[in-house]
Structure 1
Amino acid sequence: MNEPPEHCSKSPSESTESADDAGSDETTESLFLGGEGGENAYRTAMERTTDAVLDAFVENADPYSGASPEALREEFSEMEMIPETGEGLASALESAEPVLRNSVGVSNPRCLAHLHCPPMVSGLAAEAMLSATNQSMDSWDQSPAATLLEIRMVEELCDLFGYDDSGDGVFTSGGTQSNFMGLLLARERFATERFGTDVTQSGLPHRAKAMRILCSEEAHFTAEQAAAHLGLGENAVVTVESNDDREMCLDALDRTLAELDERELLPFALVGTAGTTDFGSIDPLDELAERAEEHNLWFHVDAAYGGALALSDRHRELLSGIERADSLAVDFHKLFYQPISCGAFLLRDGSQYEHIARNASYLNPKGASAPNLVAKSVQTTRRFNALKPFVSFRALGRDGFGALVDATIALADDVAELLAANSSFELVAEPTINAVVFRYRPHRMSDERLSWLNEAIRESLLREGDAVVARTEVDGVTALKFTLLNPRTTLADVADILDAIQRRGGSLSTVFPEVSR
């Protein structure tokens, strides 16, 4: 037998370049967990990472550095992303410092812009565990314990939202994916029942052009996005006007359903929102469930924001009727305080998964006895995100979570009172959950000037690193928004930000006439 070529006879460790040749202190042994070198490298890397994060987000008191897009673009343009020769892990971690330094401090009490939560330490610890174990949720033999834990978490989530034993679900990347899955199953069921068409196999029938999805005009844009992805087009979404509380108007819904019937269009899904992005408004879910049953519509509830109210004894009744939804979306990276990304899609009747189930011989062959979750998801490779809420629920319990949610809602009410008592501010709407929408309006001015002024104030706060505040539009005019997710934010913190808004507003008010001319 011929001897193998000399270069093939060496072991991986022997064939690896030396540290001097490679330009770093890394070896194969230290690159991966498993050996002594890898364990030491992991401990050192995690310690350095912890120090770097604490330096950036705890010792630094500002919610943002104030760096402009241009400044960051210039800084990163000078940084080699894929160097020819590695520089070692220690140096590589140091090179990430500008990223940390110029990231938004989501745990800072003055970071109040978006549905972008401060992550719990328990979730961060679980994130490290699931990243290190790197389980892939598409087959049992890639995630044995993880698969069973996710199944149990889904069972308890179904119970939390009032589903019985026939409920089922799967973890998702968040509300966008969950909303898409709800409308995907709604489309599949309708096409099967109405047209006798298996869309998965045959594509959309011609009459699918008449299919319609109904949602509030305040609903998240993912209803239209899902319609586009499902081949129905964004025009398939019919928005129903909202009432003064920014909830779907039932009379308008009834009129819309009657008009669709007269035009021989085919509504097949009704989307209710439990927590609109701007106002936190919650549609009348019980009444929507009744309309859905009457018109044979799939009833999906987008509870990505407001789903956490299920943990609150004081506010849970706001979700009354959610247990009647055919499907629902809930996010854990909002009011459940888990690291991004982490969401769930729940089904009242788990047998509906048959519409999207598929088998692959290398993952979940037909007849296999081991539980596999790939047929419940639109993802194949999928992270073990269920570990994060599992660890956090075990650490804090329902009561602990409920108390956090209650505290943020109480703060929003107090902030609304503070705004209403100050003649320089206009409270756009009373908060439902913990989003407060308002404008700085010290006196009468045109809508154009009012929009410019509030946007300029927001930009100034961000540029100076004083606060991260959101902007939105209400009735065509720019408004500011506090999204009070952070339980560490106090009324004093918000009062300081309002003082800063008034100071900036006073100085900026004189600039607008020059800009306009």
Structure 2
Amino acid sequence: MEQPLPQIPAAFIDPRGGNVVEVQALLQQGLDLLLKLMSEATGRSPLPPLGLDLEAIATLPSDPQHWLTPLESLCRASMNAAHPGYMGHMDSLPTTVSIIGDLLVAALNNNLLCVEMSPVFSRLEALLLTQIAGLFGLGPQGGGLLTSGGTLANLAALTAARNCAFPQALTAGMMGLGRPVIFASELVHTSIHKAAMILGLGTEAVIALKTNGRGQVDLADLQAKLKTSRAQGQTPFALVGIAGTTVTGNIDPLGEMGAIAHDHGLWFHVDAAYGGALIWSDAENHRLEGIEQADSITFNPQKWLYVAKTCAMVLFRAFDQLSQQVQIPAPYMDHAPDCPNLGEISIQGTRHADILKLWLSFQHLGRSGYGALIERSYDLTRYFLHHIAQRPDLTLATLPEMNIICFRATPAHLPPEAWDDWNRELQRFLTAQGDFFLSLPRYRGNVWLKAVLLNPYTERSHLDRLFAQIDQFTPFPGE
């Protein structure tokens, strides 16, 4: 006798349409909670206190349990990026259609491992990323892959770079390759060091380049270290530029770095995880001049394009050659003549169809909508800087090139060695008020405050209130 399904209402969506009413009621509960949380986000702190018995909630039940109440508790204790005062990191309020896209993709449950497991989304990803590579000026052979975050995108790029420079690495490994090294800013994201570790090079294979007062690579130091590296028996194979440093949002001199990479036969990778969004702004895309010289680019739409996490990509100038550099064929999968099996040329195998929420966001906002959002961020940045300029005891780390402002209190009545603790206390004070969250990075050996003006609902009045709270903690002369 055939064993019946467990009698759990709406455990699955019946493909015969037998439980539409029950499923609709279940989904409505989830949707009601979602709308309640998001539309009332200003009523919760940007970074709420935990306030949960997580051990009790995390217990694996033997029998079905009521889930809605503990679910709401988990959500209310979570980081609240929807709050206009959440400014601490590059976490954005997601576009509404990307939420819809995530829901649909979860229901369809396709797998970007291969074309036969995701016939539409594999092709959509290939087509859309070819167009995006074109926007960055990577040429007619450009293309890319989506990844689960910028760390994997950087790893994919440097894997291709290594295998391009040392073709035997694909099959024979690293034995006999000498001492391959990567050149990158001293401010480069830690994922570059992770990539060096995973690739078997070791973190010391990332040679740190000095930066100037604006957080940009010192070109003279690059030239000198290239010469020294070769004299010491190392083999440089890649140069990494940054379009949007993590702490200050600065952009390396990409054009000059690209020319140096070309002259020295290096793979030029640009980590534009954050700053790549500027390509959508006619007013600001000039800041990315030189990025078109890249052999590969990391870009994360989950940041300044407001697509729900995760959504990141790695783009290649010669995407058609990627199969020669990294492909591991899977004999258990069929092959389509018009589209590669993306899992064979990417680090990830099984992968969510993140392309749908990206495509939906482009459809809903368009290039003009994204351009307006980016330009509005710059307007808020200028207003933020106006507030800082009025306060002599606030100091900028660098002049911002994006909507990331790194600053600190430098109260004249205290010695400089006390300023780090002062800024830590200021950050705690702001968080405790429940209106703002600024992060507390270390930059050039000191503690700073960082604000990322990313939320589309952040207004000048919010910044006025932020600085009023800073003044409340730190009285300034004449105010």
Q: Show the counterpart of 2:331.
A: 361
From 164, 173, 177, the equivalent of 1:203 is: 173
The one-letter code of the counterpart of 2:329 is N
Q: Show the counterpart of 1:411.
A: 380
The one-letter code of the counterpart of 1:51 is D
Where do 1:140-159 residues align within 5 Å? 140-159=115-134
The one-letter code of the counterpart of 1:351 is D
Return the offset for 1:364: 4.0
From 168, 179, 190, the equivalent of 2:165 is: 190
From 428, 439, 442, the equivalent of 1:473 is: 442
The total of aligned residue pairs comes to: 475
Q: Show the counterpart of 1:514.
A: none
Q: Show the counterpart of 2:32.
A: 51
Where do 1:8-157 residues align within 5 Å? 9-13=1-5, 16=6, 26-27=8-9, 30-62=11-43, 64=45, 67-68=48-49, 71-72=51-52, 75-87=53-65, 91-157=66-132
The one-letter code of the counterpart of 1:86 is P
Return the offset for 1:463: 3.5
Q: Show the counterpart of 1:301.
A: 270
Deviations 1:291-350 (A, max 9, x none): 111110000000100001001111111111111100011001000100000011111011
Alignment partners' CA distance in 2, 1:280 and 1:248: 13
Corresponding residue SS for 2:83: coil
TM-score (norm 1): 0.88
Q: Show the counterpart of 1:177.
A: 152
Return the offset for 1:40: 3.0
Larger Rg: 1
Whether contact under 8 Å (2:270, 2:297) holds in the other structure is yes
Where do 1:60-459 residues align within 5 Å? 60-62=41-43, 64=45, 67-68=48-49, 71-72=51-52, 75-87=53-65, 91-192=66-167, 198-208=168-178, 210-353=179-322, 354-364=324-334, 371-459=340-428
- 1:220–1:369 CA distance, 2 compared to 1 (3 A): closer
Alignment partners' CA distance in 2, 1:421 and 1:501: 13
Whether contact under 8 Å (2:129, 2:144) holds in the other structure is yes
The one-letter code of the counterpart of 1:201 is T
Alignment partners' CA distance in 1, 2:369 and 2:71: 35
Return the offset for 1:501: 2.2
Alignment partners' CA distance in 2, 1:288 and 1:257: 12
The one-letter code of the counterpart of 2:163 is E
Alignment partners' CA distance in 2, 1:405 and 1:261: 42
Whether contact under 8 Å (1:453, 1:505) holds in the other structure is no
Corresponding residue SS for 1:481: strand
Return the offset for 1:160: 1.0
Alignment partners' CA distance in 2, 1:233 and 1:314: 41
Corresponding residue SS for 1:12: coil
Return the offset for 1:55: 2.3
Return the offset for 1:240: 0.3
Alignment partners' CA distance in 2, 1:397 and 1:260: 46
Return the offset for 1:83: 0.6
Return the offset for 1:458: 1.3
TM-score (norm 2): 0.94
Q: Which runs of 5+ in 1 are unaligned?
A: 1-8, 19-25, 193-197, 508-517
Indicate the percent of aligned positions where both proteins have the same amino acid.
Answer: 29
The one-letter code of the counterpart of 1:491 is R
> Superposition RMSD on alpha carbons, in Å?
2.0
Return the offset for 1:500: 1.3
Alignment partners' CA distance in 1, 2:452 and 2:404: 4
Return the offset for 1:270: 0.2
